[in-house]
Amino acid sequence: MVIALIVWACIFHTKRRAKAELPPQVRYNLPIEMLYTLVPLVMVSVFFFFTARDSRDLEVLSGAPDVKVKVEAFQWSWRFTTTVDGKTLKPVVGQPVSDYTAGPQLVLPVGKKIEFELESPDVIHSFWVPEFLFKRDVIPGIPENNKGRKFEITTLDKPGTYAGRCAELCGVDHSRMLFNVKLVKQAEFDQYIATQAGSAQ
């Protein structure tokens, strides 16, 4: 359509050039100038409102999560350290893999509040479990106990194994920085804790 209009303009509007008449001028047209000032202003304000509201909600920490998980992202895998009822389990450490089911597995109970604390010793990574509809950059150098490295979510109500990945290009094996989150019922989670507790540090 654009090409057709260009061709049409080239063919039918070349002869008039000789007349050198100015087209209708719209400078100092107050209604139009107000319109193109106010419309973008309103649009940006609306976007800003929803962004500010949602980013505030996403940063809320209840301070009373059911499970705490320390997530260490490194080139190129993950280390998960789970703490439940004051008990810290042995960390789960992964290696670069090409299938998320082969990556490190984070076991969590369904429908519970989980507080994640993110840490990176090297470059920026991004913790992403697509099914959770949540993603957060793992930025090195944020001091401990800083709110910027924590977030809280409530896990899905559906047991299953969910793919997780790094969502920030972080080096040669970025695409193999895969992991999985296994959501289980509370009873099964308790059992998991019991089996892991023996090797707790």
- The nearest distance, CB 31 to Cu ion, in angstroms, is 52
CA gap 93, 82 in Å, rounded = 12
Of 67 and 178, the one with the shorter C-beta distance to Cu ion is 178
Q: Which is nearer to Cu ion, 71 or 107 (CB)?
A: 71
Residue 154 belongs to what H/E stretch? Answer: strand 150-154
- Closer CB to Cu ion, residue 68 or residue 176? 176
Cis peptide before 128 (omega within 30 of 0): no
Residue among 146, 117, 135, 125 nearest 73 (CA): 125
Q: Report the nearest approach of Cu ion to the CB of residue 180 (Å).
A: 16
- How far apart are the C-alpha atoms of 95 and 97, rounded to whole Å? 6
Least Cβ distance, residue 124 to Cu ion (angstroms): 8
Nearer to Cu ion, 153 or 170 (CB): 170
Q: Which of 49, 55, 163, 48 is nearest to 104 (CA)?
A: 163
CB of 131 to Cu ion, least distance (A): 19
Q: State the residues that interact with Cu ion by CB under 5 A.
A: 125, 166, 170, 177
Q: Name beta bridge partners: 95.
A: none
In total, the chain counts a number of residues equal to 201
The residues, ordered by sequence, that sit 6+ positions from 10 with a Cβ below 8 Å of its Cβ are none
Residue (125 or 136) nearer to Cu ion, CB:
125
- For Cu ion, give the closer residue by CB, 136 or 189: 136
- Rounded Cα distance between 156 and 135, Å, is 15
Kindly state the smallest distance separating residue 121's Cβ from Cu ion, in Å. 12
Least CB distance to Cu ion at residue 191 (A): 32
Helices (H) and strands (E) in the chain, counts: 3, 11
